[in-house]
Amino acid sequence: MKVSSIRWALPAAILAIVLSASGRAEDADKPDFTKQALQAKIAYCKTCHGVSGQGFHGSTPIPRLAGQQVEYIENQLKAFIERRRDNKYMYGVSHVLSPSMQAALAKHFSELNPKPLGGAPRELVATGKKIYEEGLPDAQVPPCASCHGPEAKGNGAFPRLAGQLDDYILRKLLNWSKERGQDPANPDTSAIMEPIAHGLKESQISAVAAYLNHLE
């Protein structure tokens, strides 16, 4: 082959490799499901989490997903799949979801914004607001707002708490170490919460939960 031919062949080969890699990346980003399949999964989620993702009060409180941070939902689905977070229902639900389906479900619920279900004792709200905004320095509990935001709407991996069911928050914080962090060698952002959950008394958790429950 002539030198001039090689000179032209090399850029062409490099371009072909780049375009091929680009095509593979685009294929990876493409959804591997139909619109009908996504709607079916959304409907399935809503049988427990409510028609607008607002949560459900029952013998086992089921959390609000509406308005939740996309990154947080995806992280928690992965935690269920990898059994880093224990829940007898959610492993079965989540481990069959492809990454692109997880992302699509997270996006759908993040865009919902129904009114909070409410119901928490309003007489606890003022105390809960103080703890949320100021923390408990004597117990080495930082302000909740420092991670979850002044309006409790979350940020990235830090979840939205505004409008969350108070009984769900209470149950999760009281049983934190029994459900979260089941693989200490592979922690996620939620590991920050373990010492905080242990540093709060049940009455203090109830107050914070009541305050958050009434936020929109």
Answer whether residue 187 shows pLDDT above 70.
yes
User: Residues 127, 150: one domain?
Assistant: yes
- The torsion defined by the Cα of 107, 53, 188 and 149, in degrees rounded to 10, comes to 90
Domain boundary among 110, 140, 161: 110
User: Residues 89, 156: one domain?
Assistant: no
Number of domains making up the chain = 2
The predicted model gives 193-201 an average pLDDT of 96
For 16-59, what is each residue's pLDDT tens digit?
Answer: 444 444 444 444 467 888 999 999 999 999 999 999 999 999 88
Q: Is residue 60 part of a domain?
A: yes
* pLDDT value for 29: 60
Domain with 79 in it: 35-110
Q: Is residue 62 part of a domain?
A: yes
Q: What is the per-residue DSSP string for 97-165? A: --HHHHHHHHHHHHT--PPP---S-GGGHHHHHHHHHH-BGGGTB--THHHH-TTS--BTTBPP-TT--
Whether the CA torsion 119, 125, 129, 135 is positive or negative: it is negative
The predicted model gives 134-149 an average pLDDT of 97
Domain boundary among 90, 110, 130: 110
**Rounded to 5°, angle at Cα 44 from 178 and 93:** 35
For 54-106, what is each residue's pLDDT tens digit?
Answer: 999 988 999 999 999 999 999 999 999 999 999 989 999 999 999 999 999 99
What percent of the chain is modeled with pLDDT above 90? Answer: 81
Residue 136 dihedral angles phi and psi, to the nearest 5°: -130, 85
Q: Is residue 177 part of a domain?
A: yes
* pLDDT value for 32: 87
Q: Is residue 117 part of a domain?
A: no
Q: The pTM is what?
A: 0.84
Q: Is residue 116 part of a domain?
A: no
What span, in angstroms and rounded, lies between the C-alpha atoms of 15 and 75? 36
The predicted model gives 207-215 an average pLDDT of 98
Q: Is residue 5 part of a domain?
A: no
Answer whether residue 192 shows pLDDT above 60.
yes
Domain boundary among 77, 110, 143: 110
Answer whether residue 15 shows pLDDT above 60.
no
The predicted model gives 146-175 an average pLDDT of 97
* pLDDT value for 188: 85
CATH number (domain holding residue 81):
1.10.760.10
* pLDDT value for 5: 47
Q: Is residue 7 part of a domain?
A: no
User: Residues 156, 186: one domain?
Assistant: yes
